[in-house]
Amino acid sequence: MTRNARKKSRMKYKTLKGLQDILPSEIAVWHHIESKARDIFRNYGYKEIRLPILESTDVFIRSIGETSDIVEKEMYTFQDKGGRSVTLRPEGTASFVRAYVEHHLYNDPAPQKFYYMGPMFRYERPQAFRYRQFYQIGAEAMGVDDPKLDAEIIAMLSKILGSIGLAGLNFEVTSIGCKKCRPDYRTALKTFLGSKLDKFCGDCQRRYDANPLRILDCKVPACIESRKGSPPVLDYLCGECKDHFESLRGNLELLKVPHTVNPNLVRGLDYYTKTAFEVSSENLGSQSAVAAGGRYDSMVDEFGGPPTPGIGFAMGMERIIPLIKDSVSGAAGPDLFFCPLGAAAADKAFLLTEQLRTEGRWVEMNHEGTSVRSQMRKANRIGARNVIVIGEEELRNNKIVLKNMLSKEEISAALEAKELLNLISSRK
């Protein structure tokens, strides 16, 4: 049996639908994004928070909303062995607010600023750029209602996306009002939709009474068509929300963050108030949103904390990676690769490998007694920068030849850690 055939016949398991492995050959771009984001979060005073992946189901139902697509259709909910209903988090903000209230983080000087990175789970129909486990990097700023903070977080998002190499993005902003002005808007929307409710899908017909705003987010083509011309929420803002939105726009202009106002922007989560925003790319087809967020000024209160405003965003790693992956180079190969011939040479190579690693170099050795030719081929495949063959003669004379795999230059040296360290450190 060939090696490949043997491997194939033993493969019993595959990743679940909509989930993917991230292989070492793909990881460089993930590290690139994460490290650029961390650098910028530091400049803006955002601190990392790590939250559980599993929460009580109620955490999401109460915040994201019973009639949202996420809660109605997309959650991975199950009973644990104690009979509690638990859910794999579909997004970060609800878990974050649960932690914010649980640990009284509102007692710290405002604004308190946080960021997180990690997997989210939604039982969606998998397609390009849409998965059932996907990764988000998100940020939350708490305790300040000043529209400057809204502008700052959008500016920070723009800086992060720019620094990781994304261009051609469209920043759309709007305001979706607050508890005070939403009832008026809801009434206007219901009046508009009521006369043609029969043209909407069954879900939307149910939403009409429970939560008519959700109809604006329905993806069914007939519903998209039928809701055209619905009253824009911006026309129904109360004085406070209007001023807040005007000020947000002024502050975005002050910081020179290009953006457009999209009065039809709706978010899939119920907890938003006032500012909502979305960033999209023309290069992603229909799954074009790379990041989205907004203000949520009632959630802390609803979770049992003191009334505290908040604003946040989340960006989707799997939507960003395809846009930049060709411009991020992968990890280089080892600094040095030993090709030992025989057991005594292997012992020597083994010891030197360990010593050079202790000195901070990436060193590998060959472990199978194969020919020099096949060992050199392996050195090439793993991208080794330098190679040393150790045979009987090299051991006897304590002398080797260090070969640079790029320039093909060869240098004689003593078979000794210090000298090798100097050589592999100084040569490119």
Q: Which residues bind ligand ATP (CB under 6 A)?
A: 91, 122, 124, 129-131, 134, 136, 268, 287, 289-292, 314, 316, 318-319
Phi, psi of 268 (to 5 degrees): -80, 5
What's the farthest any 2 CA atoms get from each other in the chain?
95
Are the C-beta atoms of residues 119 and 72 closer than 8 Å to each other? Answer: no
Residue 316 C-beta: closest distance to ligand ATP, Å: 2
Nearer to ligand ATP, 145 or 278 (CB): 278
Quickly tell me which residue has 């529209």 as its tokens. 147
Cα 193 to the center of its chain, rounded Å: 37
Nearer to ligand ATP, 180 or 219 (CB): 219
Residue 124 C-beta: closest distance to ligand ATP, Å: 5
**How do beta strands 310-316 and 410-414 pair?**
unpaired
Distance between CA 279 and CA 266 in Å, rounded? 13
In order, the DSSP letters of 285-325 are TT--EEEEEEE-SSHHHHTTS----EEEEEEEHHHHHHHHG
Are the C-beta atoms of residues 407 and 400 closer than 8 Å to each other? Answer: no
Nearer to ligand ATP, 236 or 271 (CB): 271
Residue 64 C-beta: closest distance to ligand ATP, Å: 9
Residue 361 C-beta: closest distance to ligand ATP, Å: 38
Nearer to ligand ATP, 283 or 287 (CB): 287
In the DSSP assignment, the letter for residue 231 is: P
Q: Which tokens is 355 given?
A: 């010593």
Residue 226 C-beta: closest distance to ligand ATP, Å: 19
Distance between CA 105 and CA 253 in Å, rounded? 32
In this structure, is the dihedral angle defined by the CA atoms of residues 22, 23, 26 and 32, taken in order, positive or negative? positive
Residue 373 C-beta: closest distance to ligand ATP, Å: 46
Nearer to ligand ATP, 130 or 378 (CB): 130
Nearer to ligand ATP, 167 or 372 (CB): 167
CB neighbours of 423 closer than 8 A, spacing ≥ 6?
386, 402, 411, 413
Distance between CA 365 and CA 339 in Å, rounded? 6
Phi, psi of 197 (to 5 degrees): -60, -30
Residue 382 C-beta: closest distance to ligand ATP, Å: 32
H/E stretch holding 136 reads: strand 133-142
Phi, psi of 90 (to 5 degrees): -90, -10
Nearer to ligand ATP, 316 or 340 (CB): 316
Distances (CA, A) of 413 to 12, 336, 394: 50, 14, 10
Nearer to ligand ATP, 273 or 386 (CB): 273
Nearest to ligand ATP by Cβ — which residue?
A: 316
Nearer to ligand ATP, 147 or 268 (CB): 268
Residue 128 C-beta: closest distance to ligand ATP, Å: 10
Residue 245 C-beta: closest distance to ligand ATP, Å: 20
